[in-house]
């Protein structure tokens, strides 16, 4: 059957009517894989509660359902976008292909002699016979939700007008995103991270953005003077804040340290795109770890699915990590010397800190870092150390940092010396200590950055006597640093006190073996709580330095 005939296969199902079966029998919801797809038609089907979409569908070899319920599970009905696909290799000169899509009012003027065709949901299609070239044809269609939705994927165009679905006013609108032609070739290898010519490398850590589907609500914002502000749209504030920080700092890398998404949201992809769009717009490489909320909820995408989305975005350095290691997103990145050198000057480790678990010991309680992750880190560190020794060309320093979402138990240790920032709420960490901190100390990691506890933003050290690296003298570190919350959709208050959103900045200077950090805070004109963490490749203990200085006088 020619692809042009497929427009008769699906009917729009009125709210109180059963779905119409036309050219094919009802089938389970399975679709054939189309290797080189071209869109030939699309439609919206609405199903009443008595009719399941999986029991009344047209030919799954042609019609493919976009797996996003258009009412976002807020209605007794369900609505779905169906896309008719044909294989490019099987097209004939008589087949009609979709070359343009509009949503909303009917187009006023015909285009090139072709007639715009109406489809349910306010969709208008412009179709043309196959000319032998795919460049102008629509080859993929997706759905994103919210008036603030964005699509950072190359060659995708997000429709400004939303589908006409008669949804409830508070339901984020559904919007089509369209891809024309074939994807342009991307380099096989990712661009390497490199220090600047002056040996410096800057990281902006963004944590707990808590994006949702739609704009969300911020309930605890304050103005520059600390006065409470009324409830407002959350996610646009978060996007604006991230953009301002990136504009000021111009980092070499952005690290997202978990809870990019709020819990129980109906469309993870729409929310995730909003987080990374300001980063991609500025052509900044980024990496991410997951938090406990990212994959919570019956409609949330799994960590593996979210990682797949992230990995396919421009400037993404995200990795799923080895399959034999617990969690998704255990990986490392190396920062190299200026080109053309391949000498690694810094290693950044990323780990999945998992999520909440039922527990009699603590509520809430969380899974600890697993032994497979500790083994992976130890093996990776040992391999990197051996490589550094073999490749050493006189560079004396190699700085390592690690990032995860949920703080290790050591963040709550009563012996912790906080040197700047604040503990404004108790640290929520696993009740079981798997001693990953000891592995970090032995591996010479200079600092560990985390998120999770939104209003904590301190940097601290445990007393030196608790750190032992084999038979060597006790060494301080690693530094334990919170990022602080960047998102307006999550809480940024404790008790009656509200606080400003913030991000943490890390700057490595590989020429001197130093590491310093500071925060960028709402309304602040300058860096906040700047602190030197490492000098000449060694962790600095400010208390010890102060004692040594006092002893000189």
User: How far apart (Å, rounded) are the C-alpha atoms in residues 110 and 353?
Assistant: 56
Q: What is the pTM of this model?
A: 0.91
Q: Kindly list the distances between the CA atom of residue 436 and the CA atoms of 432, 452, 461, 522, in Å, as whole numbers in the listed order.
A: 11, 18, 15, 33
Convert the pLDDT of each residue in 424-445 to its tens digit.
999 999 999 999 999 999 999 9
pLDDT above 50 (res 64):
yes
Pairing status of strand 123-129 against strand 116-119: antiparallel
317 and 350 Cβ atoms separated by less than 8 Å = no
pLDDT above 60 (res 209):
yes
Stretch among 126-140, 255-269, 302-316 having the lowest mean pLDDT? 126-140
Mean pLDDT of the 107-114 span: 71
Residues 6+ apart with CB under 8 A from 145: 68, 72, 172, 173, 174, 175, 213, 214, 266, 267, 270
To the nearest whole number, what is the mean pLDDT of the chain?
Answer: 89
Residues 6+ apart with CB under 8 A from 30: 60
Provide the percentage of residues in the chain whose pLDDT is more than 90: 79
Burial per residue of 207-238, b for 16 or more beta-carbon CB atoms within 10 angstroms, e otherwise: bbbbbbbbbbebbbbbeeeeeeeeeebbbbbb
CA angle centred on 520, ends 397 and 213, rounded to 5°: 110
CB 524: neighbour CB atoms within 10 A? 12
């Amino acid at each position: 059957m020619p692809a042009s005939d497929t427009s008769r296969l699906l009917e729009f199902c009125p709210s109180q009517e059963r779905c119409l079966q036309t050219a094919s029998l009802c089938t389970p919801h399975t679709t054939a894989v189309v290797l080189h797809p071209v869109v030939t038609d699309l439609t919206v089907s609405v199903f009443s509660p008595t009719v399941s979409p999986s029991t009344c569908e047209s030919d799954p070899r042609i019609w493919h359902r976009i797996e996003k319920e258009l009412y976002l599970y807020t209605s007794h009905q369900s609505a779905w976008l169906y896309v008719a696909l044909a294989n490019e290799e099987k097209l004939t000169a008589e087949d009609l292909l979709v070359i343009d899509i509009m949503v909303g009012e009917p187009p006023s003027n015909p285009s090139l002699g072709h007639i715009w065709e109406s489809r349910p949901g306010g969709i208008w299609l412009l179709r043309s016979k196959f000319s032998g070239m795919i460049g102008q044809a629509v080859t993929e269609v997706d759905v994103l939700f919210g008036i603030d939705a964005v699509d950072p994927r190359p060659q995708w165009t997000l429709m400004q007008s939303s589908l006409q679905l008669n949804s409830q006013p508070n339901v984020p609108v559904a919007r089509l995103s369209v891809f024309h032609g074939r994807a342009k070739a991307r380099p096989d290898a990712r661009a390497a991270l490199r220090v600047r010519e002056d040996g410096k490398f800057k990281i902006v850590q963004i944590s707990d953005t808590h994006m949702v589907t739609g704009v969300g609500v911020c309930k605890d914002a304050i103005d520059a003077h600390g006065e409470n502000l009324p409830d407002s749209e959350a996610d646009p504030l978060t996007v604006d804040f991230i953009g301002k920080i990136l504009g000021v700092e111009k980092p070499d890398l952005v690290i997202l340290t978990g809870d990019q998404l709020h819990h129980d949201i109906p469309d993870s992809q729409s929310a995730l795109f909003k987080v990374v769009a300001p980063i991609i717009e500025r052509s900044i490489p980024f990496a991410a770890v997951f938090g406990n909320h990212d994959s919570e909820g019956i409609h949330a995408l799994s960590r593996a699915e979210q990682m797949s989305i992230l990995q396919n975005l421009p400037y993404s350095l995200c990795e799923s990590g080895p399959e034999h290691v617990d969690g998704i997103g255990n990986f490392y990145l190396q920062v190299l010397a200026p080109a053309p050198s391949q000498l690694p000057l810094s290693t950044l480790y990323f780990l999945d800190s998992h999520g909440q678990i039922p527990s009699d010991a603590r509520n809430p309680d969380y899974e600890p870092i697993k032994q497979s992750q500790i083994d992976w880190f130890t093996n990776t560190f040992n391999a990197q150390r051996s490589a550094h020794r073999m490749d050493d060309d006189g560079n004396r320093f190699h700085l390592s940092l690690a990032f995860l979402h949920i703080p290790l138990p050591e963040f709550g240790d009563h012996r912790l010396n906080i040197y700047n920032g604040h503990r404004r709420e108790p640290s929520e960490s696993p009740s079981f200590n798997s001693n990953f901190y000891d592995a970090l100390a032995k591996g010479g990691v200079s600092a560990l950055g985390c998120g999770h506890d939104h209003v904590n933003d301190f940097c601290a050290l445990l007393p030196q006597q608790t750190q032992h690296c084999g038979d060597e003298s006790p060494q301080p570190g690693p530094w334990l640093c919170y990022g602080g919350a960047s998102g307006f959709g999550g809480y940024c208050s404790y008790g009656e006190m509200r606080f400003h959103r913030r991000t943490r900045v890390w700057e490595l200077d590989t020429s001197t073996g130093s590491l310093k950090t500071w925060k960028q805070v709402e309304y602040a004109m300058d860096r906040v709580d700047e602190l030197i963490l490492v000098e000449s490749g060694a962790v600095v203990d400010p208390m010890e330095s102060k004692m040594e200085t006092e002893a000189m006088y």
